[in-house]
Amino acid sequence: MAQQDPEELKIANALFASPAYQRACRAGCPQCGRSPQMFRFLPGKPEELFITCAADHHWGPKPDADD
């Protein structure tokens, strides 16, 4: 198994501790209620997440949104 990049680990730990992630976990997916499976901060917006649940529903701002 590959060693995890220390920088990636630092970002992941910050994500798990973030208020935005905690809110997303409490709320669940707005479409099906499942917990988040994949999530990341949007560049330059540490309180905004791009989130995907196990059913592959996306919520939160999309990284490619331009409007």
How many other CB atoms are there within 10 angstroms of residue 56's CB atom?
Answer: 10
Q: Give the Cα separation of 14 and 6 in Å (integer).
A: 12
In 1-67, the DSSP E strands lie at 36-42, 45-53, 58-59
Task: For the chain, 67 residues long, give each residue's pLDDT as a single digit of tens.
Answer: 556 677 777 877 777 787 777 777 787 888 888 877 766 666 666 556 677 777 777 776 554 544 3
Determine phi and psi for 23, rounding to 5 degrees. Answer: -65, -40
Query: Whole-prediction pTM value?
Result: 0.45
Q: Given this model, what pLDDT does residue 45 score?
A: 64
How many other CB atoms are there within 10 angstroms of residue 24's CB atom?
Answer: 19
Q: Given this model, what pLDDT does residue 60 score?
A: 65
Q: Check if the beta carbon of residue 58 is closer than 8 Å to that of residue 50.
A: yes
